């Protein structure tokens, strides 16, 4: 009897693992009624590119207003009724120089801000957590290369989890069991990438069959996963939460059903998750554990 109950306890602990790091985490990146614009930025990269978007938007709006104003002036002052005899000149050097120089200045100005932001995304810093990401038709595989373990991540409701990509009462039950709600169908996965908050995570990406693309919009990262190549991305999430993304390169029939779930947790929760994951996925224990065992 005691053996049975301890076995049950072990089973319960194991099955609770995927949902473990979830209690109380805010969900970011699911559609919200009436909301427009970007998801709340959770990394410096996302802050930067959202700021750049706002700044360029101001320039675009100013240019549109200026052009509309010019059109209105021409329509009012130089129409056939008001201005029966049109002018016959064909050149105006000062204006031509101005409409060449001013756009160059505007483009250089935009470039001066956008290039550093682009370089910041593409220059990969020293990572504190390394994850290799592989895109498959149609799910994601994750390897925690520092600890030699990996797992696959399927959408809850995908064929691999017993569904057929449609919402059913069984799928809803699975979602609830994993700590999600019905609203998160098509976004929630059976296993998540778990990373510690405020740590530099470096990901290497590749595709196993066709090109996929890994993204978390709130992190401001999106990178193609190309078969035969390794590409990299990095992020440092500033806020704990559950973040959603979608495969962003059309990769076949079930492209819409290979979402991405990242849980950003405290260092303590991450360490706890890591220990359980190493156990469950037969990874290499961390050096600190070896030292403690001696």
Site for Cu ion, rule CB under 5 A: 212, 247, 251, 255
Helix (H, G, I), strand (E, B) or coil at 243: strand
Are the C-beta atoms of 236 and 255 separated by less than 8 Å? no
Residue 154 CB, nearest distance to Cu ion (Å)?
A: 13
Q: Distance (Å, rounded) from C-alpha 92 to C-alpha 269?
A: 69
| Neighbour tally for 33: CB within 10 Å | 4
Q: Which is nearer to Cu ion, 251 or 262 (CB)?
A: 251
Residue 263 CB, nearest distance to Cu ion (Å)?
A: 21
Residue 145 CB, nearest distance to Cu ion (Å)?
A: 23
Q: Which is nearer to Cu ion, 239 or 255 (CB)?
A: 255
Are the C-beta atoms of 141 and 206 separated by less than 8 Å? no
Torsion of CA 179, 180, 186, 188, to 10 degrees: -40
Helix (H, G, I), strand (E, B) or coil at 12: helix
Q: Minimal CA–CA distance to 199: which of 110, 278, 280, 126? A: 126
CB-based burial label for 56 (10 Å; 0-12, 13-18, 19+): middle
Residue 248 CB, nearest distance to Cu ion (Å)?
A: 7
- DSSP letter assigned to residue 189: B
Helix (H, G, I), strand (E, B) or coil at 69: helix
Q: Which is nearer to Cu ion, 114 or 248 (CB)?
A: 248
Residue 130 CB, nearest distance to Cu ion (Å)?
A: 23
Q: Distance (Å, rounded) from C-alpha 62 to C-alpha 47?
A: 23
Residues 6+ apart with CB under 8 A from 264: 25, 42, 195, 196, 197, 237, 239, 240, 241, 242, 243
Handedness of CA 177, 246, 231, 118 (dihedral sign): negative
Q: Which is nearer to Cu ion, 131 or 251 (CB)?
A: 251
Residue 214 CB, nearest distance to Cu ion (Å)?
A: 9
Are the C-beta atoms of 239 and 42 separated by less than 8 Å? yes
Q: Which is nearer to Cu ion, 127 or 259 (CB)?
A: 259
Residue 62 CB, nearest distance to Cu ion (Å)?
A: 38
Q: Which is nearer to Cu ion, 212 or 263 (CB)?
A: 212
Residue 151 CB, nearest distance to Cu ion (Å)?
A: 19
Q: Which is nearer to Cu ion, 207 or 276 (CB)?
A: 207
Q: Which is nearer to Cu ion, 192 or 215 (CB)?
A: 215
């Amino acid at each position: 009897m005691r053996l049975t109950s301890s076995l049950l306890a072990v089973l319960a602990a194991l099955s609770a693992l995927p949902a473990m790091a979830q209690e109380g985490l805010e969900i970011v990146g699911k559609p919200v009624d009436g909301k427009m614009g970007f998801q709340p930025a959770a990394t410096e990269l996302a802050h930067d590119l959202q700021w750049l978007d706002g700044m360029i938007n101001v320039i675009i709006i100013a240019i549109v207003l200026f052009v509309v104003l010019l059109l209105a002036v021409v329509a009012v002052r130089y129409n056939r009724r008001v201005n029966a005899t049109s002018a016959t000149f064909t050149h105006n050097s000062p204006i031509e120089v101005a409409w060449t120089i001013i756009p160059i200045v505007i483009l250089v100005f935009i470039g001066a801000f956008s290039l550093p932001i682009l370089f910041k995304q593409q220059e990969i810093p020293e990572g504190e957590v390394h994850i290799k990401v592989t895109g498959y038709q149609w799910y994601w595989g994750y390897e925690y290369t520092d600890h030699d373990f990996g797992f696959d991540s399927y959408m809850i409701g995908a064929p691999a989890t017993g569904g057929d990509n449609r919402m059913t009462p069984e799928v809803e039950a699975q979602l609830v069991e994993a700590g999600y709600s019905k609203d998160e169908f098509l976004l929630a996965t059976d296993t998540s990438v778990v990373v510690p908050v405020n740590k530099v995570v470096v990901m290497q990406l590749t595709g196993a069959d066709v090109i996929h693309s890994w993204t978390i919009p709130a992190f401001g990262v999106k990178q193609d996963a190309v078969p035969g190549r390794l590409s990299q991305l990095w992020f440092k999430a500033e806020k704990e939460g559950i973040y959603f993304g979608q495969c962003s390169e059309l990769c076949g029939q079930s492209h819409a059903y290979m979402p991405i779930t990242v849980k950003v947790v405290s260092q303590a929760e991450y360490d706890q998750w890591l220990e359980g994951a190493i156990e469950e996925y037969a990874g290499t224990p961390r050096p600190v554990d070896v030292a403690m065992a001696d």
